[in-house]
Amino acid sequence: MKTLFLLLLFCHVSSTVKHSLKLFLTATSGVPNFPEFVAFAMVDEVQVGYCDSNIKTPEPKQGWVRDFMNDNPQHMEWYIQRCSISHHFFRANIDGLKQRLNQTEGAHILQRMNGCEWDDETGEVFGFNQYGYDGEDFIALDLQTLTWTTPRQQAFTTKLRWDADKAKLEFNKYYYIHYCPDWLKKYVHYGRSFLQRTELPSVSLLQKTPSSPVSCHATGFYPDRAMMYWRKDGEEHHEDVDHGEILPNHDGSFQISVDLNLSSVAPEDWRRYDCVFHLSGVEDHIVTKLDKAQIRTNWVSPSEFPAGGVTGVVVALLLLLVLCITGLFIWRKNNNGFRPANTK
C-alpha cells in the first residue's frame, strides 16, 4: 500500500505537461429550487464558463476567458447555441429515461462529462464522452472502436440506436481528435499567465474535538500538482494517516487535507511530528510543526456551550445538507474519475 501511494503521488506530481478541457452537463428532474439544466466548462481543472436553463446565456468565469470571447465572438455564439441545444437534448433524454425505467416520482439526474486532454510535450491527445444517470455509469463512447459501451441493460437500446448513427460517430471522432484539442491549445495560450502561475498555500492545523484526528489543511495553492504528508522524526509517516483528495476552490485555486490520528500517541511525543506540503516546480517545502497551541478548533466543552449555540448548530447542519445535495451532482466514474479513450 505504501509503495502504491508513493507511486500515485509521483505520477501526479510529475505529470506537468498535460492540459484538459472538460464540459460537465447536468439535467435534473424532481429537484426543487434548482435549474433543470446546468453546464460548466473547465480548463486545467479551473472553471472557465457556466450556463443554466435560467440564465440561458453562458457566463465567462475568468477575466482572460472574457478577453478571449471578446476577441472571438463567433466562439461565444457557439457556446450560446450549445447551451440552448443541450438543454433541450438533455430534457428530452431524461424524460425518455424516466418513461423507459417507469420512474414517475422522485429526483433523477442525467449527466454528461466530455472533453479532451492534450500533452503539450508529446502531442498525445485523449478524448472522452460519457454519461451517468442517478449517480451510476450509463453509457460511454469508445473512440478506438467508434462504438458506445454500457454496463447497464437499460442503456442497451440507446447503445444500438447511437451505434447505428455512423455520421454522428465520425463527427464525434473528428471533434475529439481535432476540434477539442485545437480549442484547448488556444485556451491555454490565452490563459497561460493564469494557468501557468504558481501560488503557495496557507497551511493550518485543524481539529474538531480533542479526541479527533489532527488535520493538516492547505488551501489557496496552484496548480493542483502537489502533495502533502506527515513526518515523524523527519521521516515520512503513513501509520494512522488519511490522505484527502485535492479539491478545487471557488477562485480557481486548490485545497487538500491530510489527517493524523494521534489517539495512540503520548502528548510528549507530538513534537516528533510535522506536516510537509510540496508544490510541483517549487524547490522549497512548507513544514508545519505539530504544536497543540497552533491547532485551530471550534470545539467547546459542554459546560461552556452557550445557550445561543443551538442556532449555530442548526445553521451548520443546514449548510452541510446543502453541500451534500450539491455533491450529488458531481458524478465520478467508479469514484475514481474518468478514464479517457486514447485517440492515437
290-302 confidence digits (pLDDT tens):
999 999 998 766 5
User: Please, which pLDDT band fits residue 105 given cuts at 50, 70 and 90?
Assistant: confident
Q: What residues contact 83, with CB distance under 8 A and at least 6 apart?
A: 39, 51, 56, 57, 58
Residue 342 pLDDT greater than 70, yes or no: no
Residue 13 pLDDT greater than 90, yes or no: no
Residue 19: all three cell numbers together: 492540459
Mean pLDDT of 200-222: 95
Mean pLDDT of 97-125: 92
Which residue ranges does the chain devote to CATH 2.60.40.10? Answer: 202-298
User: Please, which pLDDT band fits residue 332 given cuts at 50, 70 and 90?
Assistant: very low
Residue 309 pLDDT greater than 70, yes or no: no
CA distance 35 to 126: 31
Q: What percent of the chain has pLDDT over 90?
A: 67
Q: Mean pLDDT over all residues of the chain?
A: 85
124, amino acid identity = E
pLDDT digits 0-9 by tens, 75-100: 999 999 999 999 999 999 999 899 88
Residue 298's pLDDT is what? Answer: 81
Residue 207 pLDDT greater than 70, yes or no: yes
3-state SS of the chain?
CHHHHHHHHHHHHHCCCEEEEEEEEEEEECCCCCCCEEEEEEECCEEEEEEECCCCCCEECCHHHHHHHHHCHHHHHHHHHHHHHHHHHHHHHHHHHHHHCCCCCCCEEEEEEEEEEEECCCCCEEEEEEEEECCEEEEEEECCCCEEECCCHHHHHHHHHHHHCHHHHHHHHHHHHHHHHHHHHHHHHHCHHHHCCCECCEEEEECCCCCCCEEEEEEEEECCCEEEEEEECCEEECCCEEECCCEECCCCCEEEEEEECCCCCCHHHHHHEEEEEEECCCCCCEEEECCHHHEECCCCCHHHCCCCHHHHHHHHHHHHHHHHHHHCCCCCHHHCCCCCEECC
Residue 126's pLDDT is what? Answer: 94
pLDDT digits 0-9 by tens, 229-257: 999 999 999 999 999 999 989 888 999 99
CA distance 251 to 47: 9
Which residue ranges does the chain devote to CATH 3.30.500.10? Answer: 16-195
* Residues 254 and 246 sit within 8 Å (Cβ to Cβ): yes
pLDDT, greater one: 224 or 272: 272
User: Please, which pLDDT band fits residue 318 given cuts at 50, 70 and 90?
Assistant: very low
Mean pLDDT of 127-149: 95
Residue 240's pLDDT is what? Answer: 95
Residue 201 pLDDT greater than 60, yes or no: yes
CA distance 315 to 326: 17
State pTM to two decimals. 0.72
Residue 302's pLDDT is what? Answer: 58
* Residues 117 and 181 sit within 8 Å (Cβ to Cβ): no
Residue 90's pLDDT is what? Answer: 92
pLDDT digits 0-9 by tens, 148-171: 999 999 899 999 999 999 999 999
CA distance 228 to 118: 26
Residue 228 pLDDT greater than 90, yes or no: yes
Return the CATH class of domain 16-195: alpha beta
With respect to CATH, is domain 202-298 assigned 2.60.40.10?
A: yes
CB atoms within 10 A of CB 7: 10
Positive/negative CA dihedral, 47, 31, 36, 102: positive
Residue 104's pLDDT is what? Answer: 83
Residue 196's pLDDT is what? Answer: 86
